Amino acid sequence: MNTIAGVVARNARTRPDGVAFVEAVSDETMTWAEYDERSSQMAGSLRAFEPGERVALQLPDGPGGHVAMLACEKAGIVARGRASGRWLTSWSAAARARCCANRRR
């Protein structure tokens, strides 16, 4: 089964300097290698959450939002687009992500 994380990792290996995103307003770009690395770093900051836990994200549109969603996948967290619950404050400022956990136990 292909996952987004698998596709990004493959592109980071085979064409690391290829453009993964172009931000529409600023024309700032992110390469496949940067996308993979940033999402891995962010996934590491999610250790407070257990795999399978649901996390709601409140994100601006753009590459940072994609990084945050991929980080959740890499951490085994189920990402949702609606915010409620406990705020996650340890994420990378570069992603400009605010998110919270909606624990189901």
**Whole-structure pTM value:** 0.72
pLDDT tens, position by position, 6-24: 999 999 999 999 999 888 8
Q: How far apart are CA 5 and CA 22, in angstroms?
A: 19
pLDDT tens, position by position, 32-77: 999 999 999 999 988 888 889 988 887 766 788 889 999 999 999 9
pLDDT for res 86 = 43
Higher pLDDT, 40 or 79: 40
pLDDT for res 1 = 57
In one-letter notation, the amino acid at residue 30 is M
Is residue 98 pLDDT above 70, yes or no? Answer: no
Q: Which domain holds residue 37?
A: 4-101
Residue 28's pLDDT band, with cuts at 50, 70 and 90, is confident
Overall domain count for the chain: 1
Please report, for the domain that includes residue 36, its CATH number.
3.40.50.980
Cβ atoms < 10 Å from Cβ of 59: 19
Q: Which of 7, 9, 94 is nearest to 45 (CA)?
A: 94
Q: Print burial letters for 18-52: b (CB count within 10 Å at least 16), e (below 16).
A: eebbeeeeeeeebbbbbbbebbbebbeebeebeee
Q: What is the phi/psi pair of residue 12, to 5°?
A: -65, -35
